[in-house]
Amino acid sequence: MAFTFVSGNAFKLKELQEMMGVPVKSINIDLVEIQGEPEEVACAKCRAAQLHVDGPVLIEDSSLCFNALNGMPGVYTKWFVERMGLECLVKILETYRNKAAYAQCIYALSGDNGVVHLFKGVRHGNIVTPRGSTEFGWDSIFEPDGYIQTYAEMTSENKYGISDRSEAFKKLMAHLAQKKYTK
């Protein structure tokens, strides 16, 4: 594939490679991210990644948005997980009956002339106390609608069938396939 995936997160690389079914050219860099709307954050991250690579770059940004908090902590979730831990993050919702949330993944691919293409996937679900491996971000506290397992409890195959990341991935692949045939 004609891009370099830039990420400091080994799990994001693993999922991308498994979904693609082939090794992905990648660079392990923790990029500085901006504050803002998810699309702005992804776009700026892609431009920052571009500074390290010749040719097209791909980055990914994920959010976990609590409906009761009107979409927060969203793009800032990783800081909450790092600082407070998952148990404490779930506890924030204890006061609220509404445990609904959505997971959102954006792939950002740099194109020609400085254009950045965004591919977004969204999966609705609920916030639950951690179940399954707590290795990958907040997978263990997100239970997608229609399932009794958290992302972390699912097999890779099942998760890739339904996740916000796989939805974003499919849109990215469709874009790349179309580009191939129009060139």
State the residues that interact with a second copy by CB under 8 A.
32-36, 44, 69-76, 79-80, 83-84, 88, 91-92, 94-96
Q: What are the Cα distances from residue 11, in Å, to 15, 18, 135, 178?
A: 6, 10, 9, 28
Helix (H, G, I), strand (E, B) or coil at 167: helix
- Nearest approach, Cβ of residue 174 and a second copy (Å): 30
Residue among 80 and 147 whose Cβ is closer to a second copy? 80
Residue among 89 and 154 whose Cβ is closer to a second copy? 89
Q: How far apart are CA 43 and CA 33, in angstroms?
A: 10
Residue among 56 and 71 whose Cβ is closer to a second copy? 71
Q: What are the Cα distances from residue 163, in Å, to 100, 139, 142, 180?
A: 16, 10, 11, 26
- Nearest approach, Cβ of residue 178 and a second copy (Å): 32
Residue among 44 and 103 whose Cβ is closer to a second copy? 44
